[in-house]
Amino acid sequence: MRVPMIAGNWKMNTTVGEAIKLVSELCQGLDKIGNVEKVLCPPFVSLTAVRELIKGSSIKLGAQNIHFEPKGAYTGEISPLMIADLCEFVIIGHSERRQYFHENGEIVSKKLTAALAVGLKPILCIGERLKENEAGRTEEVVTEQLTSSLAGIDYPDDLVIAYEPVWAIGTGKAATGEQANGTIGFIRRSISQLLGKSTAQNIRILYGGSVTAANTAEFMNQPEIDGALVGGASLKAAEFLSIVKQTSELRR
Ligand code: PGA
């Protein structure tokens, strides 16, 4: 049985003060919801403050990115070791990193290896762009992303994958539950070929892209979807709580 996960990706939003306020609004309610792994991914500068606030609760912490080197002359970067000190999870290969910071398959693969080497659990993001979707190339694109990222990785069972069609991120135009379930089923079959059947059965594959309280049930009613990576809606306490609560109830 795969425990569903709801992860909130706050992206480049919230000052430290705003992060503290948001977690204070979320903490009690989120802590009480069982049967779902709950992960908050605030900006780097708020990790320490958020970590203090969720201490002793069932809420887990994730970072949004890492560099692949453990230390060195990389001004402005944050290493996997620094994050492993604070967090259990890290988002890797988000489409915004691929698009705006030119992260390719090779960089994503290095980051994955580096994260796993220090005991961080990566949330690996993959997904096709609108043009690729319209050209019927979704399966080809996610296969290429999976193959280039997963080449030679150890401990694959610690991995979480988030399927995020780029055209659905931050656009308010989510995929349908059926579409997402179809592609996620395809991803699971590909993982079975790449990493073996038992890993494919154990790995959680989330959907991401304009998930809201209003469409949560559509995704969580699908058998292949093991949760969600939530962007915009994770910045509103009541809405995020509703997404987690609905997931817990639907998956009970
Ligand atoms: P969104 O973002 O929920 O705002 O579409 C999802 C993500 O980028 O992970």
Of the two residues 192 and 153, the one the predictor is more confident about is 192
For residue 133, the model assigns a pLDDT of 95
Nearest ligand 1 atom, CA 229: 9
Query: CA 111, CA 245: separation in Å to the nearest integer?
Result: 32
For residue 55, the model assigns a pLDDT of 97
For residue 127 and ligand 1, the question of a CB distance below 6 A is answered with: no
94 is catalytic: yes
- Please check the confidence at residue 154 and state whether its pLDDT lies above 80: no
For residue 159, the model assigns a pLDDT of 93
Å from CA of 72 to ligand 1 middle: 32
Give, in order, the Cα–Cα distances in Å from 34 to each of 90, 95, 111: 22, 30, 31
- Please check the confidence at residue 1 and state whether its pLDDT lies above 90: no
**Residue of 204, 209, 205, 217 lying closest to 244 (CA atoms):** 217
Q: Which residues neighbour 70 within 8 Å (Cβ) at sequence distance 6 or greater?
A: 79, 80, 81, 114, 118
Nearest ligand 1 atom, CA 171: 5
For residue 115, the model assigns a pLDDT of 96
Q: How far is CA 239 from the centre of its chain?
A: 18
DSSP 8-state class, residue 201: H
For residue 33, the model assigns a pLDDT of 98
Among protein residues, the one whose CA lies closest to atom 7 of ligand 1: 231
144 is catalytic: no
Å from CA of 165 to ligand 1 middle: 10
pLDDT in tens, 160-212: 999 999 999 999 998 999 999 999 999 999 999 998 999 999 999 999 999 99
Please state, as a whole number, how many other Cβ atoms lie within 10 Å of the Cβ of residue 135. 12
Among protein residues, the one whose CA lies closest to atom 1 of ligand 1: 231
pLDDT in tens, 97-141: 999 999 999 999 999 999 999 999 999 999 999 999 999 999 999
- Please check the confidence at residue 155 and state whether its pLDDT lies above 90: no
- Please check the confidence at residue 57 and state whether its pLDDT lies above 80: yes
For residue 113, the model assigns a pLDDT of 94
**% the chain with pLDDT above 90:** 93
Averaged pLDDT for residues 226-235: 98
Cβ atoms of 164 and 200 within 8 Å: the answer is no
* Strand boundaries in the chain, DSSP class E: 5-9, 37-41, 59-63, 89-92, 121-126, 160-163, 204-208, 227-230
Q: Which residues neighbour 59 within 8 Å (Cβ) at sequence distance 6 or greater?
A: 26, 27, 30, 31, 38, 39, 40
Query: Residue 156's pLDDT band (boundaries 50, 70, 90)?
Result: confident
For residue 152, the model assigns a pLDDT of 75
